[in-house]
């Protein structure tokens, strides 16, 4: 597994990957799953270990709907100054929490909280996870309104972009609404939704 931080969607051309951080969050994640199903989008969910332990049934629904899983740490800590051993212990604990919810889960990706990578790319790669960054962040962690999120998504998307969105960590109803509105527009413009690069 490469320790390089990937930020591209698979397939080239007008492709885009949607990724969602900080869940699971029952209210918004479950509604998001309905939206993604309606628009036939497979996404990557970066799971916060504490939230996994609190809501394992939502993780099971994510997997049942055909989405892919990423490790987003146990407690959403800034790992910048952490030793590799401390990072490894955290990532293993997060994977164990995910596998308690879904015993056969394939955890393909890792994303560092806050994008504060430190030594985590090499550690996550050694554990079999691709470090995944992003090319477009629309700032939905401080919800600016659904219309503004739609504008940022449509104006900001570029070919091959991995898009950073959130389904947890707060009220993400605006994000869910924005995805519901943006998906058909992107499809009408001949964009394809794919998974992030370098990993099938």
Q: Does residue 198 carry a pLDDT above 90?
A: no
Q: Does residue 195 carry a pLDDT above 80?
A: yes
Q: What is the rounded average pLDDT of the residues 57-62?
A: 98
Task: Output the CA–CA distances (angstroms, integers) from residue 69 to 94, 99, 110, 117, 196, in the order listed.
Answer: 12, 11, 9, 19, 12
Q: What is the pLDDT of residue 199?
A: 41
Annotation marks residue 65 as catalytic? no
Annotation marks residue 21 as catalytic? yes
**Tens of pLDDT, residues 168-193:** 999 999 999 999 999 999 999 999 99
**Tens of pLDDT, residues 72-91:** 999 999 999 999 999 999 99
pLDDT-derived band at 12, boundaries 50, 70, 90: confident
DSSP letters of 11-63?
A: TSSSEEEEEEEEE--HHHHHHHHHHHHHTT---EEEE-HHHHHH-HHHHHHHH
Tally the residues of the chain.
Answer: 200
Domain ranges of the chain: 15-193
Which of 7, 21, 22, 167 is catalytic? The answer is 21
Domain 15-193: homologous superfamily in CATH: Glycoside hydrolase/deacetylase (3.20.20.370)
Q: What is the rounded average pLDDT of the residues 26-46?
A: 98
Q: What is the rounded average pLDDT of the residues 42-51?
A: 98
Q: What is the rounded average pLDDT of the residues 92-111?
A: 97
Q: What is the pLDDT of residue 2?
A: 83
Average pLDDT taken over every residue of the chain: 96
Which of 22, 166, 167, 177 is catalytic? The answer is 166
pTM: 0.96
Q: What is the DSSP letter of 113?
A: G
d(CA 193, CA 69): 16
**Tens of pLDDT, residues 129-163:** 999 999 999 999 999 999 999 999 999 999 999 99
Q: What is the DSSP letter of 8?
A: B
CB-based contacts of 11: which residues, under 8 Å, 6+ apart? 192, 194
Q: Does residue 200 carry a pLDDT above 60?
A: no
């Amino acid at each position: 597994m490469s320790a390089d931080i990937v930020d591209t969607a698979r397939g080239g051309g007008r492709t885009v990957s949607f990724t969602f951080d900080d869940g699971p969050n029952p209210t918004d994640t479950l509604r998001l799953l309905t939206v993604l199903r309606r628009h036939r989008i497979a996404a990557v969910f970066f799971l916060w270990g504490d939230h996994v332990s609190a809501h394992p049934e939502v993780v099971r629904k994510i997997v049942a709907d055909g989405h892919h899983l990423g490790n987003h740490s146990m407690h959403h800590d800034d790992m910048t100054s952490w030793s590799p051993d401390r990072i490894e212990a955290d990532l293993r604990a997060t994977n164990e929490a995910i596998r308690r919810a879904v015993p056969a889960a394939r955890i393909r990706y890792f994303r560092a909280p806050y994008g504060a990578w430190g030594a985590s790319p090499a550690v996550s790669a050694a554990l079999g996870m691709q470090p995944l960054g992003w090319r477009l962040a629309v700032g939905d962690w401080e919800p600016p309104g659904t219309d503004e999120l739609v504008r940022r998504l449509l104006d900001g998307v570029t070919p091959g972009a991995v898009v950073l969105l959130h389904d947890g960590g707060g009220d993400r109803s605006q994000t869910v609404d924005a995805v519901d509105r943006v998906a058909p527009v992107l499809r009408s413009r001949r964009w394809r939704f794919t998974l992030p690069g370098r990993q099938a």
